[in-house]
C-alpha cells in the first residue's frame, strides 16, 4: 500500500458493542486502507474478522444512491424534495385520521446517539411513544432486569476488568464469536489461573477453554441459578455483610430457595447436581467473580427473570462495585447502548425516564419547548408488527433496521408490513425490508457523518466523518431534521451539526452532561455517568450505592417458568439460534463482503449425530427445518457440539427467523428466539 | 532475533488473521487456521524452516534463504511447477488460482520495512499471535501452560506453545471435574 497522501484518522469499528478502534486511511476522498490503533484502551489495536473487512461496505456497488418511490412491483427515482414532502404529508395525514399512535418509528442501534435522540424527539413531538429499536430484540430484558434490581440497566464494569477476575461465569454468551476482542481480557485472566465456567447447551469456542461446562437445556437458566443460590445459602457461602449493608429482599429469596429441590433443578437443566455444586462454590468463594451474558439469557419469555436471577447471584455474594467483579451484559450493536440511553425505546424517555413519570416527563417536555408529551408506553418492535398485521398501525418509519431478517416469525412480519398504509425505509443498502417499502431513502454510513457511539461498557466515543456519502445519500441526522421541519417542528430542530445535537443531549440526559462535543473527541472517549464537564467518567458502577431510590440492590426472587413452546410429537427437537464469528446480525453488511461470505457462505443447521442418524441425514445433506410458523431449507452439519435434542441455526441468513417464535417476555417484550420446537427431515427434492 | 510466536492456548478460531492477511496481500491469505477435533484451532503459516524442503524442491532457485534466515519466494522467477507447494510439510505454500504463481507468508515484509508489525499479529484479538525478540517471547512462554516448541534459526523463526488441556469427550454432556 502506497502510504503517500494517506490521511490516517482514528475511527470506531461499526460492528459490535466492544467499541474497538482502528485507523482509517483516507486518500483523495476514498477510504483505502486500514491500520491498527494499538493505543486504543479496549482493543489495543486488535480487530476481529468483521472489523478487518470494514472497508468493503463503504464504497460498495450496492449502496443506495437516490430516493426511491414505490411504483407497482418496482421503484422510481424521485428527488429529495418530493420524497420528504410526500412522506411528511402522508405521516401527517395518518396522524389526522388515526391519531398519533397510528404511526410508529424504528430507530437504529447502528446510528449515532445524536440520530437516535432526534428520532425519538420527533416521534414524541408528533404525539407517539411508539419509537423503538432492535435493543427490544436483544437486551430489553437486561435493561428491565437490571433497572429493577440495581437501578441502572447497564454493564457494571469495563470489558477489560475480566482480566482481574478470579472466577468468570459465562452464561448464554459466545463472546469468542460475537465479541472476539473481549476474549483478550478473559484470556489474560485464565493465564493467571482464573476459573472459567460456561453455561451453554453448545460447545462454543468459549466453552473450549472452560474449566467447567454446564450444558444446560435451552430455557432452564432460572432453575440453574436458583439451584446455585440454594447451595450457596445452605453452605453459608453468601456474603452476609454485603447483603446486610447494601441489599434488600434476601429474606424473600430465602423463602423461594426453600422451595427449590436440587434433584428437580438437575432434571430441568439436564446438568448433574455435582456440577451445579461446583459452579456455585467456585462462584461464591472466589475473591472476585464476574458474570458475562448475552442472548442465551435475554432472548426468552423469562428473559427479565433470567437477568434478575443473575443480579441476585451477584448481590448475595457481594460481587459488584469493585474491579474483577460485576454483571456484564455484552451489548450487540456498536450503538445499542447509546440508542437506549437517549430514549429510542417506547417505554422510556432519554435517561430511562419512564414515559409514565409525570414529573420528569414534564421537565423534558419543557426542555423541548412543549407543555406535555405522550404519557403511555408505545408499541415495542414485535408489537408494531402485530399491530400492523391487524390494522391498528398505519405508518412505519424505519431507520437502519431490517425486521424482515432480524425479527422473529418473519412470515407474520411480512403480513404486517404488507398491511401498512405507509412504509418508509432509510438505509444504506436495499435490504429485505427496503424491498417492501413505499419510499426508500439513501443514507450515509458510519464513515460518512460524524457522531458519538456508546459501547457496551458505557464508553461514549466520537467517529469523525471520513468521506462523502455516495450519490445523493444523506446523513441520517440531516434527513431526520428535514422530516421534523416538514412535519411542523422546525423550531425544535435547529441543528446545523451532530455536535449541536450532542450539546442538547448534554442538557437533557444527566449521565451524559459532561460528555460534551469538545471532551468526547479524544481517544477512548468518556464512560458515563459523567455528570459534569470536569468529571472523568465512571468505569465501575455501584461502588458506594446502587442506582435505586434507596441506594440498595433489590434482590428479586424469580421462580422458574418453562419456555413458551415445548417439543412435542410433531416437533420433537428444540431449535436454538445464534451467531457465527464471520457474520454480523442480519448480514446486510457481511454478506456483501467477499472475505467473510467466502468463509461462511450459507445457512446451515447444526444437528447431533444421533438425531441425524435417526433421520438418515448425513453431513452436507439438504434438509428442511420446520416449526409451527413455517419451514426453511438449508444444509445439515452433523456435529458433536450440540446436545442430542437441540439444533442450532445462525440468524445472519434470511431463513432462520421464518422459524422462530414471537412469544414475548411480559415485562421486556423481547421474543423467545432461543427456544422453538422444530422437526428436521431430509429435503423433499 | 525476531520470531513469530503462536500461543495455541489463545486461538479462538475467529479468522481475523486470515482476513487481515488477505487484505494486506491482494486478496489471498497466507495464514490458515484449521480446526482440529472440533475444539482446537491451529493457525499455520510459513515456519521459515531451518531445513527447507521448498528451497530444495525449486528447480529454478526462486526461493532464497536470506542472511537473517528468512525463506523468501521470488515470485518473478516462479515457473508454476508447484513442487514447492508439494514439498512443504505444513502446506502453507499455495499457487494462486489464476496465475499459478507460488507464494506464502513473508512476515509482511512490506510492513516490517516501515517498522510495522505483521498484520496478523496486530489484529489478533487474543494475542495468540505475537512477533518479537526470541528472548522476550521465551520469557513469556515459560509462564504459560503447555509445551513450547521453537523452530528458529538465524534471525527468523516461529515459536509455538501447544496447549495443555484436559482430554475432552465432546459427545456427551460435559460437566467438568475438579
Residues of A (415-454) whose Cβ lies below 8 Å from B? none
8 Å CB contact between A132 and A344: yes
For residue B77, pLDDT over 60 is answered with: yes
Shortest Cα distance, chain B CAs vs residue A344, angstroms: 31
Whether residue A148 is contained in a domain is answered as no
Task: Read off the pLDDT of each residue in A12-35 and give the average, rounded to a whole number.
Answer: 97
Residues of A (185-204) whose Cβ lies below 8 Å from B? 187, 190-191, 197, 203
Whether residue A483 is contained in a domain is answered as yes
- Regarding whether A191 and A46 lie in a shared domain, the answer is no
Rounded alpha-carbon distances, angstroms, from residue B106 to B7, B48, B51, B76, B110: 20, 9, 17, 15, 9
Output the domain CATH number for residue A163. 3.40.228.10
Residues 6+ apart with CB under 8 A from A368: A121, A124, A125, A492
- Regarding whether A356 and A322 lie in a shared domain, the answer is no
Shortest Cα distance, chain A CAs vs residue B134, angstroms: 20
- Regarding whether A216 and A86 lie in a shared domain, the answer is no
Q: Do B20 and A38 touch (CB under 8 A)?
A: no
Shortest Cα distance, chain B CAs vs residue A209, angstroms: 8
Residues 6+ apart with CB under 8 A from A9: A23, A24, A26, A464, A466
Shortest Cα distance, chain B CAs vs residue A407, angstroms: 26
Chain B residues lying within 8 Å of A200, measured CB to CB: none
For residue B151, pLDDT over 70 is answered with: no
Q: Do A180 and B126 touch (CB under 8 A)?
A: yes
Q: What is the pLDDT of residue A476?
A: 98
Among candidates A41, A42, A23, A43, which has minimal Cα distance to A33?
Answer: A23
Residue found under cell 489495543: A44
8 Å CB contact between A238 and A312: no
For residue B168, pLDDT over 60 is answered with: no
Shortest Cα distance, chain B CAs vs residue A544, angstroms: 33
- Regarding whether A269 and A127 lie in a shared domain, the answer is no
Q: What is the pLDDT of residue A44?
A: 98
Tell me which residue in A3, A38, A271 faces B175 most closely, judged by beta carbons. Answer: A271
Chain B residues lying within 8 Å of A600, measured CB to CB: none
Q: Do A46 and B16 touch (CB under 8 A)?
A: yes
- Regarding whether A361 and A491 lie in a shared domain, the answer is yes
Shortest Cα distance, chain A CAs vs residue B67, angstroms: 26
Tell me which residue in A211, A599, A640 faces B170 most closely, judged by beta carbons. Answer: A640
Chain B residues lying within 8 Å of A169, measured CB to CB: none
Q: What is the pLDDT of residue B3?
A: 87
End residue of a domain, out of A527, A561, A586: A527
Residue of chain A with shortest Cα separation from B163: A209
What predicted TM-score, i.e. pTM, was given to this entire model?
Answer: 0.95
Dihedral sign, Cα of residue A157, residue A161, residue A166, residue A171: positive
Output the domain CATH number for residue A469. 3.40.50.740
The DSSP code sequence of A389-426 is: HTTS--EEEEES--HHHHSSSHHHHHHHHHH-SEEEEE
Q: What is the pLDDT of residue B156?
A: 63
- Regarding whether A323 and A369 lie in a shared domain, the answer is no
Q: What is the pLDDT of residue A619?
A: 97
Task: Read off the pLDDT of each residue in A573-592 and give the average, rounded to a whole number.
Answer: 96
Instruction: Please write the tens of the pLDDT for every residue from A99-137.
Output: 999 999 999 999 999 999 999 999 999 999 999 999 999
Rounded alpha-carbon distances, angstroms, from residue B139 to A400, A674, B48, B81, B135: 49, 45, 22, 42, 6
Neighbours of A368 (CB within 10 A): 15
Chain A residues lying within 8 Å of B24, measured CB to CB: 1
Residues 6+ apart with CB under 8 A from A518: none
Q: What is the pLDDT of residue B97?
A: 80
Whether residue A265 is contained in a domain is answered as yes
Residue of chain A with shortest Cα separation from B28: A595
* Residue A241 CB burial class (10 angstroms; 0-12, 13-18, ≥19): exposed
Angle at A481 (CA atoms; ends A341, A492), nearest 5 degrees: 80
Whether residue A566 is contained in a domain is answered as no
Shortest Cα distance, chain B CAs vs residue A521, angstroms: 24
Tell me which residue in A52, A55, A207 faces B16 most closely, judged by beta carbons. Answer: A52
Q: What is the pLDDT of residue A685?
A: 62
- CA R_g for chain B: 17
Question: Regarding beta strands A289-293 and A167-171, do their DSSP bridges make them parallel or antiparallel, or are they unpaired?
Answer: parallel
Residues 6+ apart with CB under 8 A from A370: A125
Neighbours of A277 (CB within 10 A): 16
Chain A residues lying within 8 Å of B141, measured CB to CB: none
Output the domain CATH number for residue A626. 2.40.40.20
Does B20 contact A at CB distance below 8 Å?
yes
Instruction: Please write the tens of the pLDDT for every residue from A35-92.
Output: 999 999 999 999 999 999 999 999 999 999 999 999 999 999 999 999 999 999 999 9
Whether residue A559 is contained in a domain is answered as no
Q: How many A-B residue pairs are in contact by the CB < 8 A criterion?
A: 124
Does A645 contact B at CB distance below 8 Å?
no
- Regarding whether A247 and A319 lie in a shared domain, the answer is yes
Instruction: Please write the tens of the pLDDT for every residue from A436-445.
Output: 999 999 999 9
Task: Read off the pLDDT of each residue in A256-275 and give the average, rounded to a whole number.
Answer: 97
Ordered structural domains, chain B, with CATH: 2-162 (3.30.70.20)
Chain B residues lying within 8 Å of A35, measured CB to CB: 116
- Regarding whether A492 and A355 lie in a shared domain, the answer is yes
Report the alpha-carbon distance of residue A659 to residue A673 in Å, rounded: 9
For residue A4, pLDDT over 90 is answered with: no
Residue of chain A with shortest Cα separation from B19: A49
- Regarding whether A319 and A341 lie in a shared domain, the answer is no
**Cell numbers standing for residue B129:** 499471535
For residue A184, pLDDT over 90 is answered with: yes
Residue of chain A with shortest Cα separation from B144: A191
The DSSP code sequence of chain B is: -EEEEEETTT-----HHHHHHHHHTTT--S-EEEEETTTEEEEE-----SS-HHHHH-TT--EEE-TTS-EEE-GGG-----HHHHH-TT---EE-TTT--EE---TTHHHHTTT---HHHHH-TTS-EEEEEHHHHHHHHHTSSSEEEEEEETTEEEEEEEP------TTS------
8 Å CB contact between A565 and A669: no
Does B26 contact A at CB distance below 8 Å?
no
- Regarding whether A176 and A33 lie in a shared domain, the answer is no
End residue of a domain, out of A288, A314, A330: A330
Report the alpha-carbon distance of residue A549 to residue A91 in Å, rounded: 40
Report the alpha-carbon distance of residue A255 to residue A537 in Å, rounded: 39
Residue of chain B with shortest Cα separation from A18: B125
The DSSP code sequence of B56-91 is: HH-TT--EEE-TTS-EEE-GGG-----HHHHH-TT-
Does A595 contact B at CB distance below 8 Å?
yes
Instruction: Please write the tens of the pLDDT for every residue from A281-313.
Output: 999 999 999 999 999 999 999 999 999 999 999
The number of angstroms, rounded, from the C-alpha of A470 to the middle of its chain's C-alpha atoms is: 28
Question: What does the mean pLDDT of chain A come to?
Answer: 97
Confidence of residue B176 (pLDDT cuts 50, 70, 90): very low
Instruction: Please write the tens of the pLDDT for every residue from A476-491.
Output: 999 999 999 999 999 9
ipTM score assigned to the predicted complex:
0.94
8 Å CB contact between A669 and A345: no
End residue of a domain, out of A330, A348, A366: A330
- Regarding whether A480 and A409 lie in a shared domain, the answer is yes
For residue A628, pLDDT over 80 is answered with: yes
Among candidates A583, A540, A452, A462, which has minimal Cα distance to A180?
Answer: A583
Does A330 contact B at CB distance below 8 Å?
no
Instruction: Please write the tens of the pLDDT for every residue from A505-555.
Output: 999 999 999 999 999 999 999 999 999 999 999 999 999 999 999 999 999
Does B15 contact A at CB distance below 8 Å?
yes
For residue A674, pLDDT over 50 is answered with: yes
For residue B173, pLDDT over 50 is answered with: no
Rounded alpha-carbon distances, angstroms, from residue A465 to A25, A590, A683, B135: 12, 22, 49, 43
Q: What is the pLDDT of residue A2?
A: 63
Mutate to test the interface with A, among B9, B10, B14 (most CBs of A within 10 A): B14
For residue A140, pLDDT over 60 is answered with: yes
Whether residue A552 is contained in a domain is answered as no
Instruction: Please write the tens of the pLDDT for every residue from A592-614.
Output: 999 999 999 999 999 999 999 99
- Regarding whether A670 and A579 lie in a shared domain, the answer is yes
Residue of chain A with shortest Cα separation from B174: A213
Which residues, in sequence order, are bridge partners of residue A247? Answer: A553
Q: Do A271 and B119 touch (CB under 8 A)?
A: no
Whether residue A370 is contained in a domain is answered as yes
Mutate to test the interface with B, among A48, A280, A583 (most CBs of B within 10 A): A48
Ranges of beta strands (E only) in A601-659 are: 604-607, 622-627, 630-638, 646-650
Whether residue A561 is contained in a domain is answered as no
Shortest Cα distance, chain A CAs vs residue B152, angstroms: 25
Q: What is the pLDDT of residue B161?
A: 81
Chain A residues lying within 8 Å of B170, measured CB to CB: 203, 640-641
Q: How many residues does chain B have?
A: 178
Percent of chain A scored above 70 by pLDDT? 100
In this structure, of A217-231, A648-662, A664-678, B59-73, the range with the lowest mean pLDDT score is B59-73
3-class DSSP assignment, residue A2: coil
Q: Do A51 and B16 touch (CB under 8 A)?
A: yes
Report the alpha-carbon distance of residue A606 to residue A596 in Å, rounded: 20
Shortest Cα distance, chain B CAs vs residue A560, angstroms: 22
Q: What is the pLDDT of residue B51?
A: 85
Tell me which residue in A1, A48, A270 faces B173 most closely, judged by beta carbons. Answer: A270
Which residues, in sequence order, are bridge partners of residue A425? Answer: A398, A440
**Cell numbers standing for residue B6:** 503462536
Output the domain CATH number for residue A42. 2.20.25.90
8 Å CB contact between A292 and A105: no
Confidence of residue A206 (pLDDT cuts 50, 70, 90): very high
Does A36 contact B at CB distance below 8 Å?
yes
For residue B165, pLDDT over 50 is answered with: yes
Tell me which residue in A183, A272, A274 faces B126 most closely, judged by beta carbons. Answer: A183
Domain span including residue A514: 68-137+336-527
Helix (H) or strand (E) holding A10: strand A7-12
As for how many domains chain A has, the answer is: 4
Which residues, in sequence order, are bridge partners of residue A492? Answer: none
Q: Do A271 and B174 touch (CB under 8 A)?
A: no
Shortest Cα distance, chain B CAs vs residue A610, angstroms: 10
Q: What is the pLDDT of residue B96?
A: 86
Mutate to test the interface with B, among A47, A167, A330 (most CBs of B within 10 A): A47
8 Å CB contact between A138 and A670: yes
Chain B residues lying within 8 Å of A278, measured CB to CB: 176, 178
Amino acid at each position: 500500500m502506497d502510504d503517500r497522501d494517506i490521511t490516517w484518522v482514528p475511527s470506531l469499528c461499526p460492528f459490535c458493542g466492544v467499541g474497538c478502534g482502528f485507523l482509517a486511511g483516507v486518500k483523495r476522498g476514498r477510504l483505502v486502507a486500514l491500520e491498527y490503533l494499538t493505543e486504543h484502551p479496549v482493543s489495543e489495536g486488535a480487530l476481529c474478522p468483521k472489523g478487518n473487512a470494514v472497508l468493503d461496505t463503504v464504497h460498495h456497488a450496492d449502496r443506495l444512491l437516490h430516493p426511491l418511490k414505490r411504483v407497482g412491483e418496482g421503484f422510481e427515482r424521485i428527488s429529495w424534495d418530493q420524497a420528504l414532502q410526500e412522506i411528511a404529508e402522508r405521516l401527517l395525514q395518518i396522524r389526522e385520521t388515526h391519531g398519533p399512535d397510528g404511526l410508529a418509528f424504528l430507530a437504529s442501534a447502528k446510528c449515532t446517539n445524536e440520530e437516535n435522540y432526534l428520532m425519538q424527539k420527533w416521534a414524541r413531538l408528533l404525539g407517539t411513544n411508539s419509537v423503538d429499536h432492535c435493543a427490544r430484540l436483544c437486551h430489553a430484558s437486561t435493561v428491565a432486569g437490571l433497572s429493577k434490581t440495581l437501578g441502572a440497566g447497564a454493564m457494571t464494569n469495563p470489558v477489560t476488568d475480566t482480566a482481574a477476575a478470579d472466577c468468570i461465569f459465562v452464561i448464554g454468551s459466545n463472546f469468542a464469536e460475537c465479541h472476539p476482542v473481549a476474549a483478550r481480557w478473559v484470556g489474560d485472566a485464565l493465564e493467571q489461573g482464573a476459573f472459567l465456567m460456561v453455561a451453554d447447551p453448545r460447545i462454543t469456542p468459549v466453552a473450549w477453554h472452560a474449566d467447567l461446562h454446564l450444558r444446560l437445556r435451552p430455557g432452564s437458566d432460572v432453575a440453574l441459578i436458583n439451584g446455585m443460590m440454594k447451595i450457596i445459602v445452605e453452605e453459608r457461602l453468601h456474603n452476609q455483610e454485603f447483603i446486610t449493608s447494601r441489599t434488600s429482599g434476601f429474606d424473600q429469596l430465602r423463602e423461594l430457595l426453600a422451595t427449590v429441590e436440587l434433584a428437580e433443578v438437575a432434571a430441568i437443566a439436564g446438568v448433574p447436581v455435582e456440577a451445579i455444586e461446583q459452579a456455585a462454590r467456585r462462584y461464591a468463594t472466589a475473591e472476585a467473580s464476574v458474570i458475562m451474558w448475552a442472548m442465551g439469557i435475554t432472548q426468552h419469555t423469562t428473559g427479565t427473570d433470567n437477568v434478575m436471577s443473575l443480579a441476585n447471584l451477584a448481590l448475595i455474594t457481594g460481587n459488584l462495585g469493585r474491579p474483577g467483579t460485576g454483571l456484564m451484559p455484552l451489548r450487540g450493536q456498536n450503538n445499542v447502548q447509546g440508542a437506549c440511553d437517549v430514549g429510542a425505546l417506547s417505554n422510556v424517555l432519554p435517561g430511562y425516564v419512564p414515559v409514565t413519570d409525570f414529573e420528569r416527563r414534564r421537565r423534558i417536555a419543557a426542555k423541548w419547548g412543549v407543555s406535555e408529551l405522550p404519557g403511555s408506553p408505545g408499541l415495542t418492535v414485535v408489537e408494531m408488527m402485530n399491530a400492523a398485521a391487524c390494522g391498528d398501525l398505519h405508518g412505519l418509519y424505519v431507520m437502519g433496521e431490517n425486521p424482515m431478517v432480524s425479527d422473529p416469525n418473519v412470515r407474520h412480519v411480512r403480513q404486517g408490513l404488507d398491511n401498512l398504509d405507509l412504509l418508509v425505509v432509510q438505509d444504506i443498502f436495499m435490504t429485505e425490508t427496503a424491498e417492501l417499502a413505499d419510499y426508500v431513502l439513501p443514507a450515509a454510513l458510519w464513515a460518512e457523518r460524524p457522531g458519538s457511539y456508546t459501547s457496551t461498557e458505557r464508553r461514549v466515543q466520537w467517529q469523525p466523518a471520513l468521506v462523502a456519502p455516495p450519490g445523493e445519500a444523506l446523513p441520517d441526522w440531516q434527513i431526520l431534521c428535514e422530516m421534523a421541519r416538514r412535519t411542523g417542528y422546525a423550531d425544535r430542530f435547529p441543528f446545523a451539526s451532530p455536535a449541536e445535537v450532542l450539546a442538547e443531549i448534554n442538557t437533557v440526559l444527566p449521565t451524559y452532561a459532561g460528555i460534551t462535543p469538545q471532551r468526547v473527541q479524544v481517544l477512548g472517549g468518556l464512560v458515563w455517568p459523567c455528570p459534569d464537564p470536569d468529571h472523568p467518567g465512571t468505569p465501575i458502577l455501584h461502588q458506594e450505592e446502587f442506582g435505586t431510590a434507596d441506594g440498595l440492590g433489590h434482590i428479586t426472587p424469580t421462580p422458574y417458568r418453562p419456555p413458551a413452546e415445548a417439543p412435542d410429537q410433531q416437533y420433537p427437537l428444540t431449535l436454538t439460534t445464534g451467531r457465527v464469528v464471520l457474520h454480523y446480525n442480519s448480514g446486510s453488511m457481511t454478506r456483501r463482503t467477499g472475505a467473510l461470505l467466502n468463509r461462511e457462505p450459507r445457512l446451515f443447521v447444526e444437528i447431533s449425530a444421533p438425531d441425524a442418524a435417526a433421520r438418515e441425514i448425513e453431513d452436507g445433506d439438504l434438509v428442511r427445518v420446520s416449526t409451527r410458523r413455517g419451514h426453511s431449507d438449508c444444509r445439515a452439519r452433523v456435529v458433536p457440539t450440540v446436545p442430542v435434542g437441540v439444533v442450532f441455526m445462525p440468524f445472519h441468513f434470511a431463513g432462520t427467523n421464518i422459524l422462530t417464535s414471537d412469544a414475548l417476555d411480559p415485562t421486556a417484550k423481547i421474543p423467545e428466539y432461543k427456544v422453538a420446537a422444530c422437526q428436521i427431515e431430509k429435503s423433499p427434492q | 532475533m525476531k520470531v513469530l510466536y503462536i500461543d495455541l492456548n489463545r486461538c479462538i478460531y475467529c479468522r481475523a488473521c486470515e482476513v487481515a492477511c488477505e487484505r494486506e496481500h491482494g486478496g489471498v491469505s497466507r495464514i490458515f487456521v484449521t480446526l482440529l477435533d472440533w475444539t482446537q484451532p491451529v493457525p499455520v503459516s510459513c515456519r521459515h524452516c531451518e531445513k527447507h524442503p521448498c528451497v530444495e524442491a525449486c528447480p529454478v532457485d526462486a526461493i532464497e534463504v536470506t542472511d537473517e534466515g528468512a525463506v523468501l519466494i521470488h515470485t518473478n522467477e516462479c515457473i508454476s511447477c508447484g513442487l514447492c507447494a508439494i514439498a512443504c510439510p505444513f502446506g502453507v505454500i499455495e499457487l494462486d488460482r489464476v496465475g499459478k504463481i507460488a507464494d506464502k507468508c513473508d512476515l509482511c515484509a512490506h510492513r516490517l520495512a516501515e517498522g510495522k508489525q505483521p498484520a496478523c499479529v496486530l489484529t489478533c484479538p487474543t494475542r495468540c499471535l505475537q512477533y518479537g525478540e526470541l528472548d522476550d517471547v521465551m520469557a513469556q512462554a515459560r509462564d504459560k501452560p503447555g509445551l513450547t516448541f521453537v523452530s528458529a534459526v538465524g534471525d527468523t523463526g516461529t515459536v509455538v506453545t501447544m496447549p495443555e488441556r484436559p482430554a475432552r469427550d465432546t459427545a456427551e454432556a460435559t460437566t467438568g471435574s475438579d
